[in-house]
């Protein structure tokens, strides 16, 4: 068990240092604060979603396996590459292997998380799923990637943010357990976009200002008028195409979409919390996987987010996490509250 000799108020001051020379101190203080919060939560929460002590586990190296479904739809398929083995020359298999590793790095290095479940879960992926399959998904235990149809979509392993998105569904499953319908489902989707974007930004070492904030860049073929599946910075602007239509994501509650399709529009209304996160990152500056990512990660894994959370409940939870980590009225706390105001979510 990790114990901290530095009191929480001092950790908060250290965590709030924004000068570049304090970056290591800042990160260490934030991690220590997360441990403190975990211990506090374990003392007060009657039934934490995440078993106590997970954050005390030293993250283990990744344990990756990539399978080939060979255009069938049975999982996992034929094992083509295991941990530590050399590239096999199949772009889909090698991109999946690398993407799993980059995702593991974000959680281990930045959040101290031991794989997707916090307990060293092996990372498995299947590529070449189905025939011309236009999708990628997390099946509760592993990643699955289609090859795309070649007309609208390229293979889904091309986008690191998509790989990070899918594995974040696993993190959500093993932490807050958010429902996959209506606003809770849209939060579930948004969290996957947030951490998918962070995986990509952390790998590329891109600051908030440098990042594209696009999800699924490089997935569309050249025939499509669009840059990505979604834009976190400007929801609703990722594509506008004769065949696909216009990106339907709203950027505030004013344009909230009520629909029965897509489990109540989980991929549509996720634009609202997506933009809120991007606004927080822009207000704080620097690297989004630092303070903004810590706030969202703490909200997701802290044990207080209900599975049926609405946008308003989630907004309040992120503000509470920011206050807990950085102090009441801190720049981070203000950034979170202002972001939710901008997208018109009550908090």
Choice among 104, 169, 267, 333 that is catalytic: 267
- Kindly state whether residue 246 participates in binding other proteins, applying the rule CB under 8 A: yes
Q: Which residues contact 224 (CB under 8 A, 6 or more apart)?
A: 152, 239, 241, 243, 244
Q: How far is the CB of 261 from other proteins (least distance, A)?
A: 4
For residue 215, give the nearest of 237, 231, 202 by alpha carbon: 231
How far is residue 194 from each of residues 14, 64, 252, measured CA to CA in Å?
Answer: 25, 23, 17
* 240 phi, psi to nearest 5 deg: -155, 95
Tokens at 265, concatenated: 């529009």
Q: How far is the CB of 193 from other proteins (least distance, A)?
A: 10
Nearer to other proteins, 268 or 276 (CB): 268
Q: Is 166 a catalytic residue?
A: yes
Interactions with other proteins, residue window 142-181 (CB under 8 A): 152-153, 156, 162, 165-166, 169, 180-181
- Residues 282 and 208: their CA atoms lie apart, in Å, by 6
Q: What residues form DSSP beta bridges with 68? A: 78, 127
Of 6 and 152, CB closest to other proteins: 152
Give the shortest CB-129-to-other proteins separation in angstroms.
Answer: 12
Residue 334 contacts other proteins per CB under 8 A? no
Instruction: Concatenate the DSSP letters of all residues of 59-80 into one string.
Output: PPPP-EEEEE-TT-S-SS-EEE
Contact present, 115 and 107 (Cβ < 8 Å):
yes
If the CB atoms of residues 68 and 193 are measured against other proteins, the closer one turns out to be 193
Catalytic residue among 166, 217, 290, 332: 166
Q: Would you count residue 244 as binding other proteins (CB under 8 A)? A: yes
Out of 37, 104, 267, 316, point to the residue binding other proteins (CB under 8 A).
267
CB of 172 to other proteins, least distance (A): 8
Count interface residues toward other proteins (CB under 8 A).
39
Of the two residues 49 and 152, which places its CB atom closer to other proteins in the complex?
A: 152
Radius of gyration of the chain (CA): 20
Q: Where are the alpha helices (DSSP H) in 174-243?
A: 182-204
Residue 234, both tokens = 């400007």
Using the minimum distance from each CB to other proteins, give the nearer residue, 127 or 268. 268
The neighbour count for residue 57, using CB atoms within 10 Å, is 14
CB of 6 to other proteins, least distance (A): 39
Subset of residues 126 to 145 that bind other proteins, contact rule: CB under 8 A: 134-140
Helix axes 291-301, 271-284, angle to 10 degrees: 140
261 lies in the site for other proteins, by CB under 8 A: yes
Would you say 124 or 330 has its CB closer to other proteins?
A: 124
CA–CA distance, 115 with 141 (Å, rounded to integer): 12
Answer yes or no: 267 catalytic: yes
How far apart CA 188 and CA 12 sit, in angstroms, is 28
Note whether 74 binds other proteins by CB under 8 A. no
Q: State in angstroms the smallest separation of the CB of 246 from other proteins.
A: 6
Per rule CB under 8 A, is residue 272 in the interface with other proteins? no
290, 209 contact by CB (below 8 A): no
Which helix H or strand E contains 32, and what residues bound it?
A: helix 23-44
- For position 35 contacting other proteins by CB under 8 A, the verdict is no
Among residues 192 and 201, whose Cβ is nearest to other proteins? 192
How many other C-beta atoms can be found within 10 angstroms of the C-beta atom of residue 78?
11
- Least distance from other proteins to the Cβ atom of residue 220, Å: 9
Contact with other proteins (CB under 8 A) among 259, 307, 328, 346:
259
- Positions annotated as catalytic residues are 166, 267
Residues that bind other proteins (CB under 8 A): 134-140, 152-153, 156, 162, 165-166, 169, 180-181, 188-189, 192, 216, 219, 229, 243-248, 257-263, 265-268
């Amino acid at each position: 068990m990790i114990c901290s000799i530095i009191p929480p108020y001092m950790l908060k001051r250290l965590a709030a240092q924004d000068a570049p020379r304090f970056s290591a101190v800042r990160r260490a203080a934030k991690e220590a604060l997360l441990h403190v919060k975990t211990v506090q939560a374990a003392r007060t929460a009657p039934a934490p979603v995440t078993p106590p002590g997970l954050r005390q586990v030293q993250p283990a190296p990744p344990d990756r396996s990539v399978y080939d479904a060979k255009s069938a739809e049975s999982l996992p398929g034929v094992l083509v590459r295991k941990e530590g083995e050399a590239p096999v020359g199949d772009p889909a298999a090698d991109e999946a292997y690398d993407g799993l590793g980059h995702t593991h790095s974000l959680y281990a290095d930045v959040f101290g998380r031991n794989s997707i479940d916090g307990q060293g879960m092996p990372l498995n992926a299947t590529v070449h799923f189905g025939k011309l399959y236009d999708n990628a998904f997390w099946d509760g235990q592993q990643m699955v990637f289609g090859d795309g149809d070649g007309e609208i979509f390229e293979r889904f392993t091309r986008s690191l943010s998509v790989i990070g998105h899918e594995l974040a569904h696993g993190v959500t499953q093993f932490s807050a357990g958010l429902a996959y319908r209506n606003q809770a489902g849209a939060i579930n989707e948004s969290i996957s976009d947030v951490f998918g974007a962070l995986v990509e930004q952390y790998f590329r070492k891109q600051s908030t200002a440098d990042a594209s904030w696009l999800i699924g860049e490089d997935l569309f073929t050249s025939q499509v008028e669009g840059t990505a599946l979604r834009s976190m910075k400007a929801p609703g602007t990722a594509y506008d195409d004769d065949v696909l239509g216009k990106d339907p994501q709203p950027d505030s509650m004013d344009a909230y979409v009520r629909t029965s399709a897509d489990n109540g529009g989980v991929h549509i209304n996720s634009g609202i919390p997506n933009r809120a996160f991007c606004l927080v990152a822009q207000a704080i500056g620097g690297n989004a996987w630092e303070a903004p990512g810590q706030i969202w990660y703490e909200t997701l894994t802290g044990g207080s987010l209900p599975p049926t959370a609405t946008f308003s409940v989630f907004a309040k939870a992120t503000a509470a996490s920011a206050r807990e980590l950085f102090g009441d009225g801190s720049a981070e706390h203000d950034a979170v509250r202002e972001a939710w105001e901008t997208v018109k979510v009550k908090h």
